[in-house]
């Protein structure tokens, strides 16, 4: 009798142990499936996140002579139609700058365009004493601008300024008098190369080519 009782208890113990293991295995599979599904959801961005990451394209429409912002699925935005210059994108592609109106003896302004949200602001404002004439990017946070007197055939260029795109603060990189007019510049390997003309007579009728350079890494 005792042997039969022990045998029954042993069988019950085995059945209980097997049932417990089967339940744990099922629970583990369910947990793994939840983790995999959760991981897949985290790696896959939503449509809204994809849309928020898109940047506007900016281009000068040469048929209408208007500066336009474009993004797939949205209406084209006209930023300027008063003889704007070709836009220049920042190194990271998130901003662009342009001059308008980009005409001889016109008071031009320098505009900064945010290509993430399509907004723009006036970065350098022209007036009767000076106006921005040419611009290039130094890095993602600064532009270099030639600013000079807007009228006459003598003041064909100006001096170079570094402008902070967030604050609009200007720093003069050159401080020439009227006899030297900077008209062009470019950056190569951390050095700013610039050129223009230098007047060689008092009446400022005769001139010669002028070139110089500044290290931007100091």
- Max distance between CA atoms of the chain, in angstroms, equals 132
Q: Is residue 203 part of a domain?
A: yes
Q: Is residue 135 part of a domain?
A: yes
Specify the pLDDT at position 166.
Answer: 97
Q: Is residue 93 part of a domain?
A: yes
Specify the pLDDT at position 122.
Answer: 98
Specify the pLDDT at position 217.
Answer: 85
Specify the pLDDT at position 40.
Answer: 35
Q: Which two tokens stand for residue 22?
A: 């089967």
Specify the pLDDT at position 61.
Answer: 96
Domain that holds residue 190: 51-215
Indicate the pTM of the whole model: 0.76
Q: Is residue 30 part of a domain?
A: no
**What CATH number did the domain enclosing 84 receive?**
2.40.128.660
Q: Is residue 194 part of a domain?
A: yes
Q: Is residue 3 part of a domain?
A: no
Q: Is residue 72 part of a domain?
A: yes
Q: Can you list the residues of the chain whose pLDDT is less than 70?
A: 1-53, 218
Taking a C-beta distance cutoff of 8 angstroms, is the pair 111, 80 a contact?
Answer: yes
Q: How many domains does the chain have?
A: 1
């Amino acid at each position: 009798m005792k042997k039969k009782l022990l045998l029954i208890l042993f069988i019950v113990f085995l059945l209980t142990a097997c049932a417990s293991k089967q339940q744990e295995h099922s629970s583990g599979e369910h947990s793994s499936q939840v983790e995999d599904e959760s991981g897949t959801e985290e790696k896959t961005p939503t449509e809204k996140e994809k849309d928020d990451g898109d940047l506007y394209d900016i281009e000068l429409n040469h048929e209408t002579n208007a500066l336009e912002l474009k993004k797939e699925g949205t209406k084209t935005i006209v930023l300027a139609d008063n003889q704007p210059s070709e836009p220049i994108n920042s190194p990271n592609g998130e901003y662009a700058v342009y001059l308008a109106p980009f005409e001889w003896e016109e008071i031009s302004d320098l505009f900064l365009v945010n290509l993430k949200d399509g907004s723009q602001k006036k970065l350098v404002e022209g007036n009767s004493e000076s106006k921005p004439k040419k611009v290039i990017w130094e890095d993602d946070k600064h532009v270099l601008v030639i600013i000079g007197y807007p009228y006459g055939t003598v003041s064909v260029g100006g001096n170079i300024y570094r402008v902070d795109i967030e604050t609009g603060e200007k720093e003069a990189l050159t401080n020439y008098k009227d006899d030297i007019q900077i008209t062009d510049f470019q950056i190569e390997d951390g050095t700013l190369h610039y050129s223009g003309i230098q007047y060689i007579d008092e009446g400022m009728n005769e001139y010669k080519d002028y070139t110089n350079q500044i290290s931007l890494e100091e």
